[in-house]
Amino acid sequence: METIEIREFTAADADWVVARHGVLYAQEAGFDASFEALVAEIVAGFVTSHDPARERGWIAERAGRRVGCIFCVRLDATTAKLRLFLVEPETRGTGLGKRLLDTCLGFAKDCGYARLSLWTHESHRAACALYKARGFACESSHPVHSFGQDLIEQSWTIDL
């Protein structure tokens, strides 16, 4: 198996991040087009106004093909937010998710954030298990109707 490299996100990756989130979440969770539209807004905002000293995105690549991503953005002066965490199906179970999460956590710590938060859905069981294993705690959980689906929305945090 070829090595998976993790590099910094560039604006040239934006279309891939949006498209892959749209396709995978539609296939795997039945999400409608409003999810891809939300991802597009998040990515566009990051590209146009992120602070590179305190916010960063990463792309995982294998043999020149993108296979994952994760972003760390500023929520407030002491809290960072993990966003847009995606691992392609063929690379799941390889440890890539852990590597991406550790990259994001390390960056947040190095920036001096006191905590890292994230928002997800209970149905993302593998990701939630990874968050729990890394020391995140589920702070809230409640039912919502989002992206054309009935979901259990969750907020997780970890003190850094």
SS (H, E, C) the chain: CCCEEEEECCHHHHHHHHHHHHHHHHHHHCCCHHHHHHHHHHHHHHHHHCCCCCCEEEEEEECCEEEEEEEEEECCCCEEEEEEEEECHHHCCCCHHHHHHHHHHHHHHHCCCCEEEEEEECCCHHHHHHHHHCCCEEEEEEEEEECCEEEEEEEEEEEC
Per-residue confidence (pLDDT) for residue 1, from 0 to 100? 53
Query: Is a pLDDT exceeding 90 seen at residue 124?
Result: no
pTM value is: 0.95
User: Which tens digit of pLDDT belongs to each residue from 7-64?
Assistant: 999 999 999 999 999 999 999 999 999 999 999 999 999 999 999 999 999 999 999 9
Q: Which band of pLDDT confidence, cut at 50, 70 and 90, is reported for residue 123?
A: confident
Q: Which band of pLDDT confidence, cut at 50, 70 and 90, is reported for residue 122?
A: confident
User: Which tens digit of pLDDT belongs to each residue from 76-120?
Assistant: 999 999 999 999 999 999 999 999 999 999 999 999 999 999 999
